[in-house]
Chains A and B, each alone.
Chain A
Amino acid sequence: MEKEQKHVAVIGAGIAGLHTANLLAQSGHKVTILEKEKYPGGHLNQWHHLFPDHSSPEWIISGLLDEQLQFDHLKMISSTEITSIEKNNGHFAINAGNELRIYADAVVISTGFKLFDARQKEEYGYGLFKNVITSADLEQSLKSGQPLTTASGKTPSRVAFIHCIGSRDAKCGNTYCSKVCCITGVKQALEISEMLPETEIFCFYMDLRLYGSKFDDLYLQAQKKHKIQFIRGRLSEAAETHDKRLQIKAEDTLSGRPLRMEVDMIVLLAGMEKNEAHQMFSSTKLLELDEHGFFKSKNIQLTRNETTQPGIFIAGTCICPMSVNETIENAGAASILVNRYLEHQQLTNHHE
C-alpha cells in the first residue's frame, strides 16, 4: 500500500513551529509554515543568552533553518497573517492575508506567547520613568553588546530585579506562574554582574521558582560568587527621585520590616501571556481556551499537544509558559501526535 503524502500547516515559525515542521517533513509529510513576521525565530530573535548555559539562541534558530534546507517538501511563507480557519470533511482550509488559501490535512498551532505589558502595573512606572525597563528590554540591551547604562548614560551602581510582573497577580488577571522569569532574572543578574562587577544587584521575589535542571546552580553562583542579594518581598511602588534614580518600597518579609532603597535601574521580569491570536480560534468555536486564555489541551496529562478539535495540534508556549528546552521537547511530542493522527487517517481512508 503506497502512502499518500499528507499536508500539514504549521502556524508560527518560532522554535516550536520550526522544530515540529522539520520533524514532520522528516516523516515524509508535506509541510507549510506560515509566519506573520518577516523572519522566523519568534521571541528568540530578541534574546541575548539562554539559561542555564548562557548559550546563544542564534545557533538554535540557524540550526533549525539549516535543517529545513534538506526537505524540498517543506516551505515557509512569511509576512502572512492568518485570518480564519475552516474545517470541511476532516480537512482544513486556512485563509491568510494576500488572498492566500491553503488546504491541509492537519494543523499545528505554534503561535507562542505575548510578553506582559508592564505599563499595566502603573505603580512600577514602566513607560513613565526612563530607568524602569523590562527583562526583554534588558535582553536587547545585552544583545547589543553595549555596556549597560542608565537613561542618562551612567553606569548603574545598583540594579533591582522585580519578579512576578504580570504573573501570579490577580490584579492584572494572570494568576498563573510564568515559570521562566525567576531563572531569567538570575541569569540576567549574573550577566550584569559579570559586565559590571561593581554594581550591586538585588532580586525582589515572592517565591523563587527555580524548577529546572541546573537552575539552582545558577542561584548558588549568583549568591556566592556575585553577591547578588535576594530579598523576599513584593515591590509596592516606585518613585523617581530628583536625580532620576528610583526609590522603591517593599517589605523584607523574612525580617518583617519595611524596606526602602534607591536604585539606578529597575528590571521588571515580565511574564508570559496568551497571544491575541488565540481569540480568533476561540471566537469561531473552532478551539477551546483554558481559564488563562491559552489553548486547551484535550488531556492535560496524556495528550498535551492535542486540542479539543481533532486534526488541530498545539506546540510550545501557546499551551502554557515554557522554557526554550521544554518548547523543543514539546514540539517533538507534537510531531509524534500529528504523525499518529495522519497515519490513522490514512488507514481509515484506505478502508473506505
Chain B
Amino acid sequence: MLGELINPYYLQVSSFILINIILAVSIYITLGTGQLSLGHAGFMSIGAYTTAILTLNYNMPLVLGVIIAAIVTGIVGTLIGIPALRLQGVYLAIATLGFGEVVRVLFINWDGLTNGAIGLSGIPHLGREIFNLSKSMGIEPDMFGLKNNQFISLAVFFVLLIITISVIWFFVRQNNSRIGRAFSAIKMDEEASEAMGINITYYKVLAFGQGAMLAGFAGALYAHLMAYISPSDFDYHRAVEILIFSIFGGSEVIWGSIFGAVFLSAMPEFLRFINEYRFMIYGALLVLMMAFRPQGIIDVNMMNRFKRLMPKKRGEKKHGTGNKEDQ
C-alpha cells in the first residue's frame, strides 16, 4: 500500500538536499561572522575521508566514524581558523580556496591511505547498514509493505531528516543568544565589537571551527550515503556550490541558506528536460539574482514580514532580543 507511494528516486534527491542543507548551514555560520570561506569542500573531504578510513580500515562502527570525523574536522577548522583571523574578505576567500585545493592534492597524492584519485569504495552504506541492523533485529521491510530498496531509501531519508532538523535547531537557538548577537556584531564591525567587549578572536574561531565541523560532518554523511568517495568529489566546484547555496538563498538568516540549498539542489532535477542548457540557465540565474536581489532570496525583512503574518506564534526574533515565549 504504502509501498506504491514511496519512490526511492524522490527519497534519493531529498537525501542529497538534506546533506546540502547541512552544508549550507555550515557556510552560513562562517559567513555569520563576516568570514568568507571557499574551503568548505576541503573540510567536507576531511570528514568524508576520516570516517571512510576509520570504518574501512579499522572496522569502526559507522556512527562512531561520523562523530570522530566531525570532531577531527572541527579541530582542523579551528587550527585553520586561527591564522585565518589575520585575513579579511577576499584574501580569506582565496586563501581558503587554496586550503581546499591543497587538501585535495594531498588526498590525491597520499596514495597509501586514500588510494589516490581512484578513491575509496566499499564504505559502509548508511541505508544498507540500517537494513542489516533491522534485519538482525527481526524487522523486515515487507512488514511495512516495503521493498528492500524502498526501506533503505526511506531509512536514510529519515535519519538524515532528524539530523538536519537537529542541526537547524541547534544553530537557531545559538543565534538567538548572546553568541548569535556577538556573531552579527562582528560581521558588521569587528573593531567596534572588540571595543564593546567582544572577544573577536574567540568568536571568529568558534564560527570558523563550527562551520568546518559541520561541513566535515556533512562530508562524513555523504561518504556513507555514496559508499564511495574520491578527491574529485570535493573540488572547487563543490566549494562554490556550497557558498552559492547560502548566498543565493540569503546569508542574512539561516532560513535563507536552507532555502538556497533546497532550491538549488532541486532545480537541476526540474530542469532535466532542458538538459543542455541547464548550467547556462544556472549561471544566468545567479547573475540575475544578484542584480535584483543581492541579499539573497530570503532576507531579514522578509523574515520579519513572515513573522508578522503569523501573529499567534510570534517566531523567534533575531538575536534573541524578542519576546517572552523565547525565554
A binds B: no
